[in-house]
Homo-oligomer: A and B are copies of this chain.
Amino acid sequence: MNNFDFHNPTRILFGKGRIDDLDGQVPADAKVLILFGGGSAERTGVLANVRKALGDREVVEFSGIEPNPRYETAIKAVDVIAENGVTFILAVGGGSVIDAAKFIAAAAKYDGDAWDIFTSFGGVIKDALPFGTVLTLPATGSEMNTGSVITHLGKAAKLPFRSPHCAPVFSILDPELTYTLPDRQIANGVADAFVHVIEQYLTYPVGAPVQDGFSETLLRTLIDLGPKALETPKDYDIRASLMWTATLALNGLISAGVPQDWASHMIGHEITAFNDTDHARTLAVVLPSLMQDQREAKREKLLQYAANVWDIREGDDDARIDAAIKATVDFFHAMGIDTKLSDYNVGADDIDTIINALTDHGMTELGEHGKITPTVARRILEAAL
């Protein structure tokens, strides 16, 4: 097992009716910026419950955070904070709104050009406004980690940063808030969480059975409950387990002490930057092709994945790996997610653009061995056409 640090100070308030706890979590004298996306937070009544729970605290609202949150929008919220003397940000939404909140919280306390936050991958952040979240969409895990991904349309860039100053103080996870989500968003969330786990699990063995067992538990839960969540949207226990799974998939727990990959994410980000394809769907395209391409480097873990996640125990090594990759693709299809670039209007001629962007963003040595070069990434994309 590798050495590691683990520190996750975010308080989770999980379950039915937990929005009522906001009053005890947000400082009584806070001036609050409520950050949200489109109209659904209003339509579903979540915002009304949030406003009620905040009582007579002074509140400013900022809406319009996009599904792939944009720098150009988020930077406007930084001005709103300065103009109104906001002291606490409350993000109400999914990973996009929470990712935006992290950037806004850091930028509000940063003196230079806020774009430095991305070019330094968060390194320039020395302080941030405190913020909490009310999660409405289980998917990214952003509610219990310090990472964020923002898209800059002007630069056609989708870039990550992280900072220990960007941990939510608290996150409210009420599974009932997910009952009204469209199937497409549930499916995306399940696929996103699934690939988060894979990025931290499907590398090479380092004698870490606890981390492996936890990852396999999360994967099996997603495989079992993902399709059921689409069939029976108001089954509380299913929604609850999916929500907790998505959080645990990216809160630092399963990555502690083990190698990590993240090549599927970095390549996928460039597809989204190229034509705004849903993040999760880019992962469902890249991952199976990457598994196939990297089957030698990942051989031991692919065999373990076949056995412990899919219960594939018949046939020789290569047959079991083939079956596990096929099962992965079938799972995405069962969630209603296509797995080829052509399904998302990306053709062979577009691969140059995507690979050039990857290179421009410094993503030239990806994967747990740093061996996914632009040449390998091109091969992976070409096999996914």
Contact = CB atoms under 8 A, between A and B. Distances in A.
A299 to B, nearest CB: 20
A14 interface: yes
A241 B9 contact: no
Interface in A15-33: 15-18
A210 B241 contact: yes
A2 interface: yes
Interface stretch (A45-53, A154-162, A217-225): A217-225
Copies of this chain held together in the complex: 2
Interface residues of A, number: 43
A1 interface: yes
A351 interface: no
Given A206-B237, A208-B237, A210-B221, 18 more contacts: A1-B240, A1-B241, A3-B17, A6-B11, A7-B10, A9-B9, A12-B256, A14-B257, A207-B237, A210-B217, A210-B244, A210-B245, A213-B213, A213-B218, A214-B217, A240-B257, A244-B256, A253-B253
A6 B1 contact: no
Interface of A: 1-18, 206-210, 213-214, 216-218, 220-221, 224-225, 236-238, 240-241, 244-245, 248, 253, 256-257
A208 B207 CA distance: 27
Nearest to A10: B7
Contacts of A248: 210
Contacts of A2: 15
A13 B257 CA distance: 11
A237 B2 CA distance: 9
Nearest to A208: B241
